[in-house]
Amino acid sequence: MKITQEIQEKFDRNITSEEEADKLGRSMVDKIIAYKNAKVNSKNSAVNKQNIKDIINTFLEEINEALIKGEEVKLVGHFALKTVMTKEKQGINLKTKEKITIPAKRVPKIKFSPNLKKEISATK
């Protein structure tokens, strides 16, 4: 597929703000990378797009490992992640109408910060 010059220019130009990254319609990670690249490039650093992807992936892997160990992960001002145990409960097999026991299990849970909740509820 041939990339038009206009599209190529959009991806080649320096992105100086999060709004500009938003206008390009990229995924969240690409937006973060584009925004961080603009900040990094302005400081003449040796960090590139792949390094930033690696940093984000490592960060997410660390969160996953902490949750698997049962630890709580807090991003102050945003949210907290933790795992909780559910109780064993009774259920019904809808096909056979037979009563079954659903075993207790550990599930992830997220709690958003009050400030974030307030900001979200204030927008339409």
* Tens of pLDDT, residues 42-96: 555 556 777 788 888 888 999 899 999 999 999 888 899 999 999 999 999 999 9
- How many residues appear in the chain? 124
Handedness of CA 82, 88, 89, 94 (dihedral sign): positive
Where in the chain are the domains?
A: 1-69, 72-124
* Per-residue DSSP letter, 111: E
Neighbours of 15 (CB within 10 A): 23
Region 72-124: CATH code: 4.10.520.10
What values do phi and psi take at 114, rounded to 5?
Answer: -60, -40
For residue 123, the SS3 value is coil
Q: What does the block give as tokens for 64? A: 């996953």
Q: What is the pTM of this model?
A: 0.54
